[in-house]
Structure 1
Amino acid sequence: MFPSLKSPKALTAHTKRENKSKREMGAGPLKDQTHFLTKRLLPCVIYALLPLALFRFYFYPPSFNESLEKAPQDKPIIVIKPSSKATNEKFSGIPCDYTSGKWVRDMLGPRYNGTSCTTIKDGQNCMSHGRPDLGYLYWRWKPKGCNLPRFEPSTFLRIVENKHLAFVGDSMARNQLESLLCLLSEASPPHLVYRDGEENKFRRWHISSHNITVSIYWSPFLVKGIEKSASGFNHNRLYVDLVDDRWGSEMGQMDVIVLSIGHWFLHPAVYLEKDLVLGCHFCPNMNHTEIGFYQVFRKSLRTALKAISDVQDGKKRQIIVTTFSPSHFEGDWDKAGACPKKMPSKEGEKAMESMDVEMRNIEIEEVEVAMKNGAQIGLQFETLDITKLSLMRPDGHPGPYMYPFPFAHGVPERVQNDCVHWCLPGPIDTWNEILLEVMKRWEVQANRDGL
């Protein structure tokens, strides 16, 4: 029957069916193509993207800020005192304990190298001295429950603008200072304006872009001391009630003071207070009482902190004490491979020794006392608690590369190792990342208080 002979209603229904059939006939090949793409190509796309997603998650997990968890936390077998409340509170007010965490992989690496920074002490420039393994450069400290941001040179410069930042103490103070200068040089190079003393133990730089003065004062005891010498007596003499005048006389010029002592107290010494002998440490041939060094270490730090508090000039100073940094000697100090580790310590691999714990606890306790007293006169005290995180980095020392290319002519019978100081760049850069976080928190507190 022809459509023209149908009723209008039937014709309309027929036309709709015909149009629908045409659409389906025309869409058939496209539909088949879509089905083919969905069935065949979609799995291929998923399989191609899955490795990329896993790679992205592996090297840049969202909770770790461009880091990969690698080394679990090393739990010391000795109970240590918690750091001050201020140390465990991030500047934003969110609780953050920088003292507890683990080292995780960081594919970004350091912000500088042995060539780009010119202020590195020769003995800590491991890269230029030919250290072949560079894996120690690709780790970051991951605190529990929070993130430690990468160092921001511009932020540090802004906070310390128009101030005098002084590092006072032993060679660890110098090591930390040189790390900081390298980190800052990316934004604004420091200019050396003063140099004095053997091995440049007293130096001063000026950062003109922000009118910042940065100084290093050699004072391995903080108090007055006469160091042992090859030509004189073979022990140190410490006057634990008198601050070292070399830095004490310029204390009024300082705005931010970073103190770092510890390792020199292990050497033989005689201790005096008010010109009377208190006792000695490791002095078998002397007619003095052996009292060790913990008590004197505490007295010396207390004398220094009190001297800073006694400067009544109305300046709102900030004082940071960097806690004891453990060494990693294995076997004889002058043998090859004294600190041969190439990876951070894993959980249970390296326990905190009693001396490390005692030195750290003394510093935390004395800073807490100074913190309470200083708050009344506008001073801010803080412990930069790096003992635990440094203990877990036996791979970060110069070792035999304290000298250039020590194995260029084969392995010598004897080679000296440095397992105390830190390669630059290296784990010690983390100390200054935490230092910046402390100063950022102080800045926020000052703004809240309207200072």
Structure 2
Amino acid sequence: MAFTSQSIKFKSVSPSISISIILFFNFTLLSSSYLLVHHLNNNDHSHHHQRPILQPNNSQCSLFMGSWVHDDSYPVYQSSSCPVIDPDFNCQMYGRPDSDYLKYRWQPANCELPRFNGLEFLEKMKGKTVMFVGDSLGRNQWESLICLTWSDVPRGATQVIRGYPLSTFKFLDYDVTISYYKAQYLVDIDSVGGRRVLKLEDISENARAWTGADVLSFNTGHWWSHTGDTQGWDVMESGGSVYQDMDRMVAMETAVRTWGRWVDSNIDTTKTRVFFQSFSPTHYNPSEWTGRATTTTKNCYGETAPVSASVFSGVYPNEMKVVDAVLKDMQTPVYLLDITTLSAMRKDAHPSIYSGDTSTGQKSNPSGIPDCTHWCLPGLPDTWNQLFYTALFF
């Protein structure tokens, strides 16, 4: 079943907000020019970066650039009312004492996002499957999308099947399936002679599970830097040779190009929409958001508010340079859901020590090993899905 598109009707922003946006961009040009350069450089590849148009003056809406605005109508749902939130993401259940981090709305430059509507999502996706493929940030987003949708149809018939590597949640009344497939490197990992072999040029085993999905959203990035006990493989295989290790960004690019070739060879764009979720930033180094070394803060623990535009700084991740290069060379239109910058501003939105993971002693040593990688639910991934929803239907 083919997807159809329609014009989006955005509200014009108020004069006061317009002034704020002007100030924001003045700062961004000075201290975060790499962001504007990145977006401008990608204008030649508009099929990868579709943008809704602001009505009625037809100026461009930059969905992924803007600011965070406090909004008391948030969150859309409560963690206690959603049946699928993992303990790792359930910050309120595990004792987070503050709640303001739940009350921020993303305000893009020059326009406003349509609010997520779970009933509309189900009606438009009737009979279809949405699948998130990648690492646990994909699982974070998968659970968020279920919670957002569930909040609008709480009495609907559902079915959940958790497994490895595939988990599914079905809204039975609408025949809508939302799935998560764990493939942190996208490409296959095979067991050969007792060793885990990361096959940088083979994706056939994983891809069997993706065939037939109507919407596919991929992500990868974080696991490519893991070493030691947290590394997910023993050796790499590429070009018929086996390697104990190699430059990780070279390895990642080889794998993502393997994924790109699979998409170009197997995706019928009249039936399937393909998204790639950009790199989700971590917040372990306060100098990245303060611009200076600090002796009082060691990570995201205790952070309770987003980074303001006046102090925002950062470096465009190498992982995203890899993804950009691959998308540029692909034939199939892939929508880049570019959440990197807006997520980098949310140093306050991680589980930190407030998760169900008690094995690492987080609560006894909060400055040591909190979770500053994943995100609380409700929280930031709900905005990712609001953007995903906008890109799908408007």
**Which letter maps to 1:76?**
S
Identity of aligned residues (%): 27
Task: Answer yes or no: is the 8 Å Cα contact 2:131–2:217 preserved in 1.
Answer: yes
- Distance, in Å, in 2 between the alignment partners of 1:314 and 1:125 is 36
Task: Answer yes or no: is the 8 Å Cα contact 1:367–1:382 preserved in 2.
Answer: no
Unaligned runs of 5+ in 2: 1-11, 228-232, 287-295
Q: 2:321 aligned to 352, 361, 379, which one?
A: 361
1:305 CA displacement: 2.6
Post-superposition CA distance 1:44-83 (Å, at most 9, x none): xxxxxxxxxxxxxxxxx96399999799576536455225
- Distance, in Å, in 1 between the alignment partners of 2:351 and 2:378 is 11
- Distance, in Å, in 2 between the alignment partners of 1:313 and 1:78 is 34
The answer to whether 1:433 aligns with 2:389 is no
1:120 aligned residue: 85
The answer to whether 1:295 aligns with 2:262 is no
Distance 1:225 1:336, change over 3 A: farther
Distance 1:145 1:68, change over 3 A: closer
Moved more, 426-435 or 93-102: 93-102
Distance 1:252 1:62, change over 3 A: closer
2:289 aligned residue: none
**TM-score normalised to the size of structure 2?**
0.78
Distance 1:138 1:367, change over 3 A: same
1:271 CA displacement: 3.1
- Distance, in Å, in 2 between the alignment partners of 1:68 and 1:207 is 43
- Distance, in Å, in 2 between the alignment partners of 1:190 and 1:275 is 49
Task: Answer yes or no: is the 8 Å Cα contact 1:113–1:127 preserved in 2.
Answer: no
Q: How many residues align?
A: 347
**Structure 1 segment 10-409 matched on structure 2, within 5 A:** 63=14, 72=24, 75-76=31-32, 78=34, 80-82=37-39, 83=42, 84-86=45-47, 87-90=49-52, 94=58, 95-188=60-153, 189=156, 191-197=158-164, 201-225=165-189, 237-243=197-203, 245-246=205-206, 248-268=207-227, 270-277=235-242, 280-281=245-246, 292-311=247-266, 316-330=271-285, 338-340=299-301, 341-354=303-316, 356=317, 358-370=318-330, 373-374=331-332, 380-403=333-356
- Distance, in Å, in 2 between the alignment partners of 1:364 and 1:107 is 36
2:4 aligned residue: none
* Structure with greater proportional helix content: 1
- Distance, in Å, in 1 between the alignment partners of 2:19 and 2:81 is 27
Task: Answer yes or no: is the 8 Å Cα contact 1:400–1:417 preserved in 2.
Answer: yes
Distance 1:142 1:68, change over 3 A: farther
Unaligned runs of 5+ in 1: 1-60, 282-291, 375-379, 442-451
Task: Answer yes or no: is the 8 Å Cα contact 2:18–2:110 preserved in 1.
Answer: no
The CA RMSD measured in Å over matched residues stands at: 3.4
Distance 1:72 1:402, change over 3 A: farther
Larger radius of gyration: 1
Q: Which secondary structure does the structure 2 equivalent of 1:351 belong to? A: coil
Distance 1:312 1:388, change over 3 A: closer
**Which letter maps to 2:300?**
C
**TM-score normalised to the size of structure 1?**
0.69
